[in-house]
Structure 1
Amino acid sequence: MAANFRAFVLAGTGSGCGKTTVTLGLLSLLKKRGLRVQPCKVGPDYLDTGWHTAVCGTASRNLDSFMLPAPTLNALFREQMQQADIAVIEGVMGLYDGYGTDPNYCSSAAMAKQLGCPVILLVDGKAVSTSIAATVMGFQHFDPSLNIAGVIVNRVNSETHYQLLKVAIERYCSVPVLGYVPRVDGVALPERHLGLVTARESIVNQLPWHEFAATLEQTLDIDALLALSRLDTFPMGEWPALPAADAGAGLTLAIADDEAFNFYYPDNITLLERTGLNVVRFSPLHDTCLPDCQMIWLGGGYPELHAATLARNVSMLEQLRAAHQRGVAIYAECGGLMYLGSSLEDSNGDTWSMADIIPGHSKMGKRLTRFGYCEAQAEQQTLLAAPGEVLRGHEFHYSDFTPQTQAVMNCRKVRDGKTLQAWSGGWQVGNTFASYLHVHFAQRPEMLNHWLAAARSVL
């Protein structure tokens, strides 16, 4: 399979070095060349993958080694590559930044080694000359086993400036410099408190990205990049036991999908579809009626920015409460939890009534309440886990939820072998479960069996 396949990890020296912008330009450029491009992102990020998808037209995939065992992640990657000519994998943070201080745990470098992909290192060329070689050399020597196959220099002022940087890097580091990225107006990505504004909220104007791609065609050696990206081997993978192909037959899952709720891993939806259930989408913002369904999924997003509209859509709130009361199996993550609570206080201090299915109050703060990877162990039967089962996931939220019902999961954050935090979270009320945790179902496909069984229990 790998004989005609290409992939590379675009990694940076740190966050904010331009990885996402350059990734989007490369996606547009390679697509324009007629290649079937599969975008990917190292780690749990929903926002970057949303922009990948919008610019490339192919659903971007998260490669998360905290949530997914290596054989499972490799199997997912191999499957996605069946219909692709090249994978463009955007790294996370700096090349060696992962979870804790181990550079081989959840980092871009570790992912590149696991998948057997070369690394293209993006370095900042602003206000530097020969010293840039010391930066590249440091990244090379930190892990000599890593294949840093090429370098791209970002924020270059002129061709003369670029030639100075190129000569220094190639002379002292013996690694090819594949070109540079000049400053280009019109391709900056909008940001807010959780990071980028979602591509779903913005009408993505493709023209600036096409123009940016045309610029990169002139300043980067794309043929050299493609030659370096050819894989000699391909990672072996193995699927865990999956639900039966007819486990969801006869069931309908309604997924909230609009400007307020749109954080979903495409792999999760694919796994659900493989059970034979019917997937439909609805908008808590704009629709007045729920689809006829036995399961509902309310993903993450930005309900706090749309709280007034959500509160005023009384018909939808009533229909959700009625669905809950008749036992529809409802699952909510993060923003979905806020929507299912009793009330939500936005960043302006205004309080809005929500669905009141999970009794409690959400309040937006001015800093992250909790951020990063964590584990959650079920203390009782929940929609996704039986007692004692552990889910691995990611939290990233500025809100805090004050519950009026008992939590059903023990959560903890462990880093470098030490427990940094421990708390209670996750709430099960009837056939409804909600928490702040974002999870990837492939880590424990039994989650889907639990959910499907709960949906069938009230038929």
Structure 2
Amino acid sequence: MAAKQYAFVLAGTGSGCGKTTVTLGLLSLLKQRGLRVQPCKVGPDYLDTAWHTAIYGTPSCNLDSFMLPESILNALFSERMQQADIAVIEGVMGLYDGYGTDPDYCSTAAMAKQLACPVILLVDGKAVSTSIAATVMGFQHFDPSLNIAGVIVNRVNSDSHFQLLKTAIAHYCAIPVLGYVPHVPGVALPERHLGLVTARESVINQQPWQDFAAMLEQTLDIDLLLGLSQRETLPQGAWPELPAANAGEGLTIAIADDEAFNFYYPDNLTLLARTGLNIARFSPLHDRTLPECQMVWLGGGYPELHAAALAANTSMLESLRDAHRRGVAIYAECGGLMYLSTLLEDAEGEVHRMANIIPGRSKMGKRLTRFGYCEAQANQPTLLAAKGEVLRGHEFHYSDFSPETPAVLDCCKVRDGHVMRTWSGGWQVGNTFASYLHVHFAQRPTMLTHWLNAAREAL
């Protein structure tokens, strides 16, 4: 562990308050200072972490306490910090927003307490003066056990306005105000109805972010931020039993990675690599055939935006069908499920022929079909889970799938102790398994063992 190590959580008063933009500015700033930064995101979001990675360079880490038990999450975080000077942890939604009404369950506040990290609260300074102190005071008093160590005021465009806000917060809340963030044209993140445009789809121009970082050096007290964030120890945790280091030797996994498919937790890829697997990336959009492989992973993404090009690449579709016929162990998540379906109907009503490995029709809607955490119990053996095993994951999709084969997962959404919804999902056809569920392998590494065994049995 380095002589000095730092970690802090950047939390907001709610969604849309600028957490991601300010996080990216701080990542660029700390990079310019020569610090080794470990970016993190509370919760299951793929898009924010991809932007972290694009701006800083080091793969960002999802800290998700629904999918990962405390001990495993602590072990993951501590391992990532072995090569870092500072962790910049972007919160999710508002500081106390979690899964249900319990502020200590799957919230940014709960994660800060679990990792013993100070919270830097980002508050909106637009069109407000002394009332901003009431906002800060409310967050302070809601959970006195939480270490809210400092405040940053967003959307402030004059020093005189900031001084008014700073004086009010310091007087009524007795908490350090680290500075303010002005509005800067050119650093807004592109959005669509599904959320942010992925970093993979955008040409990242680093210069505006570097300029933004230089401005933050002038408007924020970074030395005070580091002083408030210094830590001496890392949280204690333990990994579950992992597959043997040679469990994947001699096997190759082909992972879809292009504009249409790019939602992968970096820690999942690391766990795969630890088994000795050879990882080969390919593009369903641009490549003609799969690499030589015994396993395939089609992750999430936005295949509906590229449906015509995916359908036109008939050589790749036939290569996938051939791999399926040969028993290659194929796993698909969300967008991958849509690609393996028979037909995909996009948002404009155009219908495109897909791989027809999981018989059924995917259809894009105008609103979220399912969103949030859920538990899924396998009602028969699947590629990732034995019968009766439960997987915890996250769904976020505007499409729906009308299957022609029975589902293999019994899914359930439980919030505040009440069953909110049940449904069937996940489909196993031969040695291919696909569902809308995004999962973190660390929760149950036997998922990898099942997958590897299925690949070897098909040889």
Query: TM over 0.5: same fold?
Result: yes
Identity of aligned residues (%): 81
Q: Supply the distance in 1 between the matched residues of 2:192 and 2:376 (Cα, whole angstroms).
A: 28
Matched, 1:457 2:457: yes
Letter in 1 for 2:282: F
Residue in structure 1 matched with residue 107 of structure 2 by the alignment: 107
Q: Supply the distance in 2 between the matched residues of 1:121 and 1:87 (Cα, whole angstroms).
A: 16
Give 1:233 shift.
Answer: 3.2
Mapping of 1:31-430 within 5 angstroms?
31-430=31-430
CA contact (8 A) 1:2 1:233 kept: no
1:240 match: secondary structure:
coil
Residues 219-271 of structure 1: per-residue CA shift (max 9 Å, x gap)? 00000001101014321010001001111110000000000000000000000
Residues 406-456 of structure 1: per-residue CA shift (max 9 Å, x gap)? 100100100000010000000000000000000000000000000000000
2:368 match: secondary structure:
coil
CA contact (8 A) 2:38 2:84 kept: yes
CA contact (8 A) 2:29 2:213 kept: yes
Residues 51-110 of structure 1: per-residue CA shift (max 9 Å, x gap)? 000000110010000000000000000000011000000000000000000000000000
Q: Supply the distance in 2 between the matched residues of 1:289 and 1:402 (Cα, whole angstroms).
A: 28
Q: Supply the distance in 2 between the matched residues of 1:60 and 1:318 (Cα, whole angstroms).
A: 35
2:155 match: secondary structure:
strand
CA contact (8 A) 1:324 1:357 kept: yes
Q: Supply the distance in 2 between the matched residues of 1:18 and 1:342 (Cα, whole angstroms).
A: 40
CA contact (8 A) 1:3 1:231 kept: no
Residue in structure 2 matched with residue 441 of structure 1 by the alignment: 441
Any gaps of 5 or more consecutive residues in structure 1?
A: none
Q: Supply the distance in 2 between the matched residues of 1:87 and 1:366 (Cα, whole angstroms).
A: 37
CA contact (8 A) 1:72 1:240 kept: yes
Q: Supply the distance in 1 between the matched residues of 2:232 and 2:300 (Cα, whole angstroms).
A: 39
Give 1:2 shift.
Answer: 7.3
Letter in 1 for 2:222: I
CA contact (8 A) 1:378 1:385 kept: yes
Residues 285-332 of structure 1: per-residue CA shift (max 9 Å, x gap)? 000011000000000000000000000000000000000000000000
CA contact (8 A) 2:383 2:431 kept: yes
1:132 match: secondary structure:
helix
* TM-score normalised by the chain length of structure 1: 0.99
Residues 358-407 of structure 1: per-residue CA shift (max 9 Å, x gap)? 00000000000000000000000000000000000000000000000010
1:387 match: secondary structure:
coil
- Give the number of aligned pairs: 459
Q: Supply the distance in 1 between the matched residues of 2:193 and 2:132 (Cα, whole angstroms).
A: 32
2:199 match: secondary structure:
coil
CA RMSD in angstroms, aligned pairs only: 0.6
Any gaps of 5 or more consecutive residues in structure 2?
A: none
Q: Supply the distance in 2 between the matched residues of 1:431 and 1:359 (Cα, whole angstroms).
A: 14
